[in-house]
Amino acid sequence: AAAQVLVYAGAVMVMFLFVIAYLGGRADAPWAGGPRWLQLSAVVAGAALLAEVVVALLWKSDRLDHAASIGSSFGSPAEIGRLFLTDHLLAFEITSIVLLVAAVGGVVLGIEARDHGELGELE
């Protein structure tokens, strides 16, 4: 069951990487030379996220002292499928739509870049 979850998670990651690679990248770093307020807000957001993780780990850490009871069907493909298609259906469908739109968008942008000669000598 764990191998199947890893395979599907890897497939989703490969899909994301395919879309990113298909879109291509600029030669310069997109964050270089940006507005100072944008760089500062990124640092503040990162620090806030780190602080939240530290607080979550340290606060109420006594809840981690006892073992949870895990059912025999935990992690099975049937149980994961049931969770995806019942409890997490909206998030599952939104993720699939976002992946589909990203793939179609990557293809459209790649075709437009090829038509305008922006891809260089790849052929």
Strand runs labelled E in the chain: none
Does some domain include residue 102? yes
Q: Which residues of the chain have pLDDT under 50?
A: 122-123
Q: How many domains does the chain have?
A: 1
CA-based nearest residue to 95, from 3, 11, 22, 21: 11
**18 three-class SS:** helix
Does some domain include residue 50? no
pLDDT for 123 equals 46
Does some domain include residue 120? no
- Whether 11 and 99 have beta carbons less than 8 Å apart is answered as no
Range of the structural domain that residue 14 is part of: 1-19+75-115
Does some domain include residue 12? yes
The sign of the CA dihedral 73, 76, 79, 84 is positive
Does some domain include residue 53? no
Does some domain include residue 36? no
pTM over cut 0.75 = no
